[in-house]
Amino acid sequence: MSSARVPRRARTRMIAAVATVCALSAGALSATPLSAPAAAADDPPYTETYRPQFHFTPQKNWMNDPNGLVYYEGEYHLFYQYNPNGNSWGDMSWGHAVSKDLVHWKELPLALSHDDTEMVFSGSAVVDRNNSTGFGTRKNPPMVAIYTSHNKSTGVQAQALAYSTDRGRTWTKYDGNPVLDIGSREFRDPKVQWYEPTKSWLMTVSLSTEHKVRFYSSKNLKDWDLLSEFGPAGATGGVWECPDLFPLAVDGDKSRIKWVLVVNINPGGIAGGSAAQYFVGDFDGKKFTADDKGTYTPPAGTVTQDFEGTDFGTWTTTGTAFGAGPAAGALDGQGTVDGFDGKGLANSFHAGDGTTGTLTSPEFTVDSRYLNFKVGGGRHPHEPGTVMEQGPPPEGTVLADFEGGTYGDWTTTGDAFGSAPATGTLPDQQEVSGFLGSGLVDTYRNGDSTTGTLTSPEFTVDKKHINLLIGGGHHPAGSADPTAVELLVDGQVARSATGQDAEALNWASWDVSDLAGKKARIRIVDDNTGGWGHLNVDHIMLSDTEARPVSRETSVNLVVDGQVVRSATGSNSETLDWASFDLRPYAGKKARLQIVDMNTAGWGHILADRFTTADAPARSVPQRADWADYGKDYYAAVSWENAPGGKRYMIGWMNNWDYGGAVPTSPWRGAQSVPREMALRTVDGRTRLTSAPVDSLESLRHKSPATATGVTVTSTSKPLTVPAARGRALDIEATFSLEDAERFGLKVRTGAGGEETVIGYDTTAQELYVDRTHSGAVDFNSTFPGVQTAPLKAKNGKVRLRILVDWSSVEVFGGSGEAVITDQVFPDPAAQGVQVFAENGSVRLDRARVWHLDSYRD
């Protein structure tokens, strides 16, 4: 599919249709920074540097959503989205694994394969015990997979069937496919179950871009009748995918049954990017009705700027994006703007998305706990290290500027580069910007269908940096079909860069000081014929000065001592929503607020209103929604059907589409979370979905845990000194008694150079948090490092945590399992320490028990 033949917003929908399997395509990913670590691909299988030990991963290749979760004849079946041909997204098929206990998994051969006409997107599986389909017999009932068939030629998504009569080992696609086709490109991920009251099959399926879930009924899995729709509701900042509907008893009382509707969303999740949202309500056999959660009132405070005047008052502007004063709503050419208060707001859509500028407050002294405000517009976060304006290139030696109408002594293969450099935007391509002079490399020749390489003559690395301008597709070096610029030293790729799925070129810089004196070549590679399968490159140079990329943000920033210390962006929506900055770390400091629009592409504008100082944070719609997990890495969560004892077990893809294709693992990419037992509990007067690791995980524990009791820590961090309280694969149970510390908790995977993953509790905000800012390899994507939080109230003055640490992840279960945070981490293998900490006061660790966990393959 071309990335540049349709308007941007329409193209975004196309990308979602073509490359979404409960997730956006690589179009949702940012560029891979140049220092991404190389994976240990030569290690024996399952011992590679970041290979999970008790989370399921395929031996090789790409995996994402769990599919077809069903229990049959003593086996839990885990199917999953799988690329049999590489470790990047593509050729979507169903991989397959089975387990007798949800812990020890056996990978089986490919189950459902893509073919020339379709890719096999997400779905579910059932045991057709009454042989309603006629695919088996009552004595040997068939397993039936209900999946989304993505038509490769039309992009239409329809629901289709496949069946197995040998316990899922071999499969046959139904000749009558598809069985449910509404002609939509955004209709996917059917979850099917037997609904006993009507003795019929019930399908829950997503209308993704409409933020709706549909319910259908069938007697034979082949003929379906529409029952009802649910939505939009809750968080709607991205597409809705992978729905699931199931009943649970509240607090174990089987006379109080409520229904849970899980709706996965990407982007727009609670931690950014992908996440699993849920609703609690009632289902009457036809319609799901969510419980009414009431209206939201933000914390009271002092309004410092509400944009109700005729001008910006003491706030100052640069550029033209914000106009001469506040807007009264939508501007010319803009969709309906809502969610702001009063009559005015800051709106940078003056003359459309093509304008840029800033709006800056006077300096003020931070004397409040929180700053609450409303924000909308484009989702273009602030990225550290960027500059507001592209000045002249640093001084140095230009290796190629692609001026003069030829490639000079550079050599080409294939047809992606044409016979000469491009002079700007090519036919059917979106506008290309950010290059210097009148020439550049642009491989959008005949669209994305062409491939090839362009290689420089040999040169000597004699300066500290190599700088280059790059744009185009995000397909990193090392992926199956890269669009990348590579530095070759001794024939090996020593550095690489890729685009950000945007036509605008921006600076990338490699620190090559360790390669001084080496002979090298630059190779530009376009091996991709899919969406964004092209690359734009210009002005490659050696320099002793690092070129800093130009900001593309649409954001609201808090600036302290000249540095951006807090930032918020929109969600590609014209509806403003609450955001909040925690000001406590900056008490007494001088600060400014700056509203920034440096983006000229789609959704290249920012909306802001109602800046208010307060003692408590305001909560956005996503923060007020309910989430099965508050981490960055729990998506496409669905549950098993037919589990013994009426149990409800759930699993999610342990990754995020913000960076899913860039995580530094090889030869596999993608892991599943630990399966979790789900329950409904009354927490703080509300019915909440809770989760806990399946009991059988304890079978991997070493018999004797390391135990620490009665440890008081005051304003410091210190190692757990008990023997064996360190490692890469751990199961930790810890109970803390609150004293006067503002924050406290445990640090895991600590090591040399300050590596640590912080698992803490904030007593003021009453939040559980995971900080992976210094967790090891974090620079492969700008959205990866950061802090994830989940609301959690202490109970009887105590905070209880269950922490699962694997070679490349942490899963934290707080309280009764109502606060869960799942995050990938990529630490140095030597970082194995565990520490207890307290900030600004004391905390008592009543007891911690630390078990080492074996691999499920042992």
CB 323 within 8 A of CB 346: no
The CA distance from 30 to 670, in Å, is 17
Task: State the virtual CA torsion across 701, 704, 710, 716 in degrees, nearest 10.
Answer: -60
Per the DSSP assignment, residues forming a β-bridge with 359 are: 317, 595
Q: Residue 405 — left, alpha, or beta (φ > 0 → left; ψ -120 to 50 → alpha)?
A: left
Query: In the chain, what are the helix, strand and coil shares in percent, each to the nearest 5?
Result: 5, 45, 50
Report the alpha-carbon distance of residue 390 to residue 385 in Å, rounded: 13
User: Nearest 5°: phi and psi at 150?
Assistant: -95, 115
- DSSP state at residue 623: H
Q: Where are the beta strands (DSSP E) in 684-828?
A: 686-693, 706-714, 717-719, 730-738, 743-750, 757-762, 767-771, 787-791, 798-806, 809-814, 819-824
Look up residue 390 and give its amino acid. Q
Distance CA 849, CA 708 (A): 7
Q: Annotated catalytic, 762?
A: no
Tokens representing residue 53 in the block? 């030990």
Element (H, E) at 495: strand 492-498
Alpha carbons 328 and 331: distance in angstroms, whole number: 8
Work out the burial of residue 38: count CB atoms within 10 Å of its CB; fewer than 13 is exposed, 13-18 middle, 19 or more buried: exposed
What is the sign, positive or negative, of the torsion defined by CA atoms of 387, 392, 395, 397? positive
Query: For residues 549 and 385, is the Cβ–Cβ distance under 8 A?
Result: yes
User: Going by DSSP bridges, is the β-strand pair 492-498/452-455 parallel, antiparallel, or unpaired?
Assistant: unpaired
**Length of the chain, please?**
858
Which residues, in sequence order, are CB contacts of 109 under 8 Å at separation 6+? 96, 169
- Give me the sign of the Cα torsion angle 352, 353, 357, 361: positive
User: Among residues 42, 43, 65, 561, which one is catalytic?
Assistant: 65
d(CA 552, CA 555): 10
Catalytic residues: 65
